[in-house]
Each structure stands twice: as structure tokens, then as C-alpha cells.
Amino acid sequence: MINMICPQCGDELEIDEGFRGGVCRCFNCGMLMTVPDEPDAATQERVQAPPKRRTSAPSKRRSSAPAPRPASAPKPIRAQPVDMSTIDASSVPVARKRRPPRKSVKYSVWGVVGVFVLALIVAIIVTISVLFEKPPEVTPEQIYKEQFALNENPYTKGEPNFIGIDAGKRTVVMIDSSQSFANYIDYLKQMALRSVKTLRADQEIQFIFWRDGAPMAYPEEPRAAGQIKRDMMASQLDQVFATGGMKVAPAFQKAIAEKPDRLIIVAHQVPLPEELTGVADQLKKANIKTYVVLIDYPDPFFKKLAEGTGGQYIDIPAARLRRWYEEFLNQGGQPYTPGQDDAPATTSDATPPATK
């Protein structure tokens, strides 16, 4: 590439080597000029300088003198103007504006290392912030919504279930009947009566109520739903009251002895973990899948017990339990009472069961 300066506007121009010694036109002002035919200074120096003769054997020792710097780019030559009247300007090649020489970019080893270290530090900080980020608080309502459809009311759900949990082939339901459960016991008794209606005839179920003293069970052992008379069951459950303290170990032993494939536990407050020493291991050994439903009382021990047996741990707000029952009544449902037959209810003025 030939570099030159326009004699009229002074712009630095460049044109291909093939036009050396010819005529060109400035892209800026249109001035006609000759393309320099002389080689640049660097070329002249290489051609005119005689070769150096070696007078002695080369020394093996390195010279302490600094290495010579590479020659800078040759300065452009000022072109000579040409009489424009004697040449057709339209056929003359145009010399374009000279492009500045590209500077070679040299990367420092320490610079690359610094960038890598900085990126590594940022990645570590992001990872730590993600690992130790406090998860958002989840309400019992949200937990239940993730596991069950809130629009499916257990009182009116048609599939085999108890409190929204699918019933197995042989299911035992343990219900707290201590004083702490006084506000919920009647809702659960009605749910027990309703759930029997949803079971298939060959599905077996048993309800165990625990408190101080021996637990009460109905029926005495898991029985097929087709063999359970709900009017008789209502009479039995009418004798269940929420009173006294909490003694759950005998109820657990009775439930495990029945060898169910599914155990459902419903409570408000829970006993101390020391009272249930070894229960989790017994449930695992017997391969009993355990579901724990706690009403307004989350507990880490029962959560571990449920998940350790392959079941589920569920928190249900008490307001949701009451709302389900109210929806059931508003749809024309009636609570089961002793002596009531299995005919569907037709009135809508039923009232919630009174807490005993």
C-alpha cells in the first residue's frame, strides 16, 4: 500500500501498489496528483545499506545491549499535482483516506490471572448468597394447597379419602380426643362418618381416638367399608368427647398391631418425642406409610416421622377446616346423628355439631 499526502487539502491518502508512478485523484478535494514512484525510506535503507561482514566468530554470550526497536511506519510522501486539463478525471483511480495502522494488543499474564480471580470471587459470592438465602415463609394454607386441591372439600369429595388423603386398601386413622382437640373433634367425627361413604366396599378402615387411658377404636379392628353401618358408627362416635390429657403411645401400638398399609394421624397439639421413642422405627419396619395432619400446630418431629415412612406431613389451618364444614352445610348437607339412615340429606338448615 502506497501512502501519500494530497498537495491541495493535505489529507493522508493510500492507494494500491499497482498504481505506483501513475496518476490518482484525492477522494476529498478531487485533486489530480502523481502516485509517488520512489520507495519509502525504510525500503531505501534496506536496499542501500551494504551487508555487514563478520570479522570474528559470534560470541555465545548474550549482549547486554537492549534489542533495537522495530522501525516505525514510513511517513507518507507529498504527491505532486497534475494538470487537470490534460487528463480525463473520471477515468483516474481514487486514492482513499489512509487508515491508521492497527495497534497490536498484548495481554499481560497477570492481567488475565486477575480477571480470572475476579470472576471466581464473583461466582463464589453468588453461590454463597443462593445457598444461604432465607426461603420465603410458607403458610400452612400454601403448604396444603401444594399437596391437595383446596377446591375439593373432603366432606363432599367423592373419591375414597379421609381429610383429603386418598385411603389405602387397609387404613387406620388416629384422631386426637384430648382436651386440646375440643374445638375440632366434632368436625373430625363428621368427616370420619362422611369418609366411610366414599370408600369402596372392599377398602378396610378403622378409627382410633386417643387420650388418657385406653384408646377407643371403631370398629374394633379394620373392617371393609361395605360392612360398616354408619348409624351404629354414629352412635359409637357420639360417646367420644375431647377431654383429659394426652397419652398417644397405646394408640400407636394398637394401630401398628393392625398392620395397615396406611396410617393417618390427625391432631392439634402433639406429645413429647420421648413418649414416641422407637415408634418411627416400628412404622418403617412394618412398612406403614404414615400421613400426619396437624391443625394450626406445626411440629418437626412428626414431619420427620411422616417423611421417613414415605408418607406426607400436612399443616391445615383451623379456619380451612371450619370453612369446609360450612360449605358442606350450605350445599344442603346434614351432620350424621345416631339412628340416621344413609339417605342423602335434602334440607339446607342444618347446624354445625355442638362441641361437647
* Closest to 94 measured CA to CA, from 2, 4, 25: 25
Preceding omega of 219 cis (within 30 degrees of 0): yes
pLDDT (tens digit per residue) in 239-260: 888 887 778 888 899 999 999 9
Q: Which CATH number fits domain 141-330: 3.90.79.10, 3.90.76.10, 3.40.50.410, 3.60.15.10?
A: 3.40.50.410
Q: Where in the chain is the domain with CATH 3.40.50.410?
A: 141-330
Query: What is the structure's pLDDT at 299?
Result: 83
Rounded average pLDDT per 10-residue block, the chain, 356 residues: 88 88 87 79 45 51 53 71 77 85 68 89 89 65 47 73 84 90 87 86 92 86 90 86 82 92 88 74 91 86 88 86 84 68 36 39
Look at residue 100 in the predicted model and tell me its pLDDT. 76
8 A C-beta contact, residue 154 and residue 164: yes
Task: Tell me how far the alpha carbon of residue 199 is from its chain's centroid.
Answer: 37
Q: Strand pairing of 204-210 and 216-224?
A: antiparallel
CA 268 → CA 135, 316, 325, distances in Å? 26, 10, 18
pTM above 0.85?
no
Task: Specify the pLDDT at position 104.
Answer: 61
Measure Cα distances from 7 to 39, 41, 237, 275 in Å: 19, 20, 115, 106
The DSSP output letter for 286 is: T
Look at residue 354 in the predicted model and tell me its pLDDT.
41
Give how far Cα 333 sits from Cα of 177, 319, 336, 347, 351, Å.
24, 19, 9, 7, 10
The count of residues in the chain is 356
Per-residue DSSP letter, 199: S
Tell me how far the alpha carbon of residue 92 is from its chain's centroid. 69
